[in-house]
A and B are shown apart, each in its own frame.
Chain A
Amino acid sequence: MDKETVETISYLARLRFDEDNKEKITKDLENIIEFVDQLESADTSDIEPLANPLEKTAKTRSDEITAENRKETFLKNAPDSNKDYFLVPRVVE
């Protein structure tokens, strides 16, 4: 783990750290990754990954409309919106 890697993953996660914090977070991540590196000791050849303890396939339901349109309710929670859309700074000039 180095500062450059931290910068890359920070960007992937859309997070930013100031210089002081960057050093601390790099150190923390290094320790945590070193800690989880213990996993290497397990023999996992031919072991299927377990993604979910239930291991059940999600059930499908019939393709019917079950929810009403609550556009106004949801737009009310937006930091910025007009009557139809969420608003963000202009993307295309």
Chain B
Amino acid sequence: MNKKYKTYLLSGIILLLVSVMLGIFIGSVAIDPGSALKMLASKIPGIKENISVTWEGSIEDILLKVRIPRVLLALIVGASLSVSGAVFQSLLRNPLADPYLLGVSSGAALGAAIVILTSLPFFFLGIPVVPFSAFAGALLSMFLVYGLAKTKGKLPMHTLLLSGVIINFSFSAVIMLLITISNKGLSEVIVWMMGTLNNTNYELLPYIAPAALILMAVIYMFSNDLNIIAVGEESAVYLGVKTENVKKWLFILNSLLTALAVSISGLIGFVGLIIPHIARMLVGPDHRILIPFSAICGGIFLVLSDTLCRSVISPSEIPTGVVTAILGGPFFLYLLKRKK
């Protein structure tokens, strides 16, 4: 790895830490960094005896039960969406591709909408049902898209994109139909479809975070193959890459990663599209650096966006997806213009 890459990674990590701190301190109840750090330090065995309690008891609850899990969630969702966006763009050799274009997200949305809009229970044996139904929906759409696109044992990119678009339309239509015939839960579905980190069940974090990290690590192992496929599938064959195999695995792993993110946060758009672009502009298209750097940038972006969401009109909140779209849309247009 060359020096330039190391500098970018290091500054990325520092910025990420700063954003996480900001995300923790800023909110409807401002918490001064001093007492927050003291409170956190008091949780570490060995140090806690030396720290006298000078903060209000409520701070502890806010930090440990709300702020920190939420910031970590934003970080994981941002990183997952960015990595899966970067990989989809290279796999499809289309810089405008993202998880949404391929129908994975709409499948998740349908899964969630079915539970929210029908009289299915929200909890089953104490486990929240929505993330699981969303995950199932994402898997379903993934298999449908994959099955539709597959022709003669191959996975041509244009049929893959078209199948994604078709599944997107069909699933959205079913969601609209459900909304029309149901008279409950409308605002919940809408908020979910706009994407939010607000009404998420933070207890899922210990499961989602390691799963996402493992998926990202496995995807990272394909970096060299991805570089070659990003140049051209034909050349990839000549360079000894088992193209169809690699494509199939990356498509599945990547869809799982998207499904994971969508199932806990709803449809937060633009992250998977914009962040890989920015990352590529900064560090270039080599996936060995692009994947970790996209993850870092995505984490920073979503942590900051989410902080904005819950502090601008506090005590109420803006859905996270709305903020990412408002920030991301114009930036995307700027990118398109600049390219020309």
A binds B: no
